[in-house]
């Protein structure tokens, strides 16, 4: 019930490509879905977040798509740049779950 499943484990795209990272959850009480970006040797940092009352949210080149009925959400990075190379984690919480439950992470490499 608390699990968040993330795929793919790793992703390589060319500069300008649009990497897509997918997550699925089971707990229907979850109502907050953030994405975190982590560079090597650093702690994760909040990138963008969405609530289930909207199906899409954009912030700059980053977009979250949310499908409540399928219990899935995804991160799209438009016009990806080498500086976007990092590990991306989806997460969720809500209901009785006060702490964030994280996906297993996606290591993104954007080639120049």
Q: Does 54 bind another protein (CB under 8 A)?
A: no
- Which x/- pattern over 10-39 shows residues binding another protein (rule: CB under 8 A)? ---------------------xx-x-x---
Contact criterion met (CB below 8 Å) for 12 and 111: yes
Q: Does 100 bind another protein (CB under 8 A)?
A: yes
Q: How far apart are CA 73 and CA 23, in angstroms?
A: 5
Terminal CA-to-CA distance of the chain, rounded, Å? 40
**26 or 79: whose CB is closer to another protein?**
26
* Among 2, 6, 47, residue whose Cα is nearest residue 24: 6
- Give the residues lining the site for another protein (CB under 8 A): 6, 31-32, 34, 36, 41-46, 49, 51, 89, 93-94, 98-105, 107
């Amino acid at each position: 019930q608390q699990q968040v499943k993330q795929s793919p484990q790793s992703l390589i795209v060319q500069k300008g490509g649009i990497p897509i990272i997918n997550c699925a959850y089971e707990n229907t009480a979850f109502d907050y879905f953030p994405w975190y970006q982590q560079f090597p040797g650093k702690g994760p940092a909040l990138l963008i977040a969405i609530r289930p009352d909207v199906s899409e949210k954009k912030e700059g080149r980053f977009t979250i798509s949310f499908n409540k009925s399928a219990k899935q959400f995804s991160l799209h990075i438009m016009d990806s740049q080498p500086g976007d190379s990092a590990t991306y984690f989806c997460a969720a919480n809500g209901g009785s779950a006060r702490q964030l439950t994280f996906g297993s992470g996606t290591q993104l490499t954007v080639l120049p």
